Amino acid sequence: MPTDIGLTMSVFMFVKSFIKNVEIMEQKQEKAKQFFYQEGKTTLNGLVNYADAQIPGVLEQVAKAGLAVTGPMEFIYFGATGDVNNEFTLQIALPVAEQKSISVPYQIKQVPEFKCLSVVHKGDIAEIGGVYDKLFAEIQAQKIVPNGEIREVYHLYKDHDSAENVTEIQIGIV
C-alpha cells in the first residue's frame, strides 16, 4: 500500500489530466461528525429513483426534529461496485449538530474521522460514472487500498443535469 506523497501526487496529476470538469484529487482526513440519515438498499440503476423518493422525507424529518444542519447532504455508499445491478447500502445523510431521539426509519450516528481520496466534479451528475471509472482504474494501478466506503458530498446541487452542480467524491482508503 503506497504511503509516499510523491506516488499519491502522481495519482492526482493523472486523474486531473484525464477527467474534464474535475479539480485535482487530494488525500485528506475528514473530521468526525454526526449524521442524521435514512438507510436503504438500492442499485446504481435504481439510484436516482430511490434518492428522489427518499430525500424529501429526510429533509422533512430533520426539520420536524428541529435539528441544526451543519453541512451539505451526503450520500454514503457501502458495498457499491461498478456493476449497475449490484445491490448496496446507501445512507442519505445530513450532518447535524446534536443528538436526539429519532423515529425509525431515520437514525443519528456519530462517525469517526474518515481518511479518503477526494476529487470535486463540476456539472451533470450523469457524467459522474466516468469520473469513478477513471479514478478507480488509477487507484488499482497504484495499489491504493479502498476501505469500502464512498461518500458523495453535494456542495451545490441545482438539478440532476445542471452544469452548476458541485459534487465532492470521497473514496475511503485504508
Q: Tens digit of pLDDT per residue, the chain (174 long)? A: 344 444 444 444 444 444 556 667 788 999 999 999 999 999 999 999 999 999 999 999 999 999 999 999 999 999 998 899 999 999 999 999 998 888 889 999 999 999 999 999 999 998 998 888 878 887 888 899 999 999 999 999 999 899 999 999 999 999
Which residue, among 172, 169, 114, has the nearest Cα to 144 in the 3D structure? 172
Model confidence, pTM: 0.86
From CA 49, how far away is CA 73, in angstroms rounded? 17
From CA 146, how far away is CA 138, in angstroms rounded? 12
**Residues 6+ away with beta carbon under 8 Å from 140:** none
Q: Which three cell numbers stand for residue 69?
A: 444542519
What pLDDT sits at residue 20? 58
**Positive or negative, the Cα torsion across 73, 77, 82, 83?**
negative
From CA 23, how far away is CA 135, in angstroms rounded? 12
Q: Is 81 helix (H, G, I), strand (E, B) or coil?
A: coil
From CA 149, how far away is CA 151, in angstroms rounded? 7
What pLDDT sits at residue 11? 43
Helix (H) or strand (E) holding 168: strand 166-173
From CA 95, how far away is CA 90, in angstroms rounded? 15
Q: How many CB atoms lie within 10 A of CB 154?
A: 15
CB 81 within 8 Å of CB 88? yes
Helix (H) or strand (E) holding 76: strand 74-78
What pLDDT sits at residue 101? 87
Q: Which three cell numbers stand for residue 36?
A: 442524521
Amino acid at 70: T
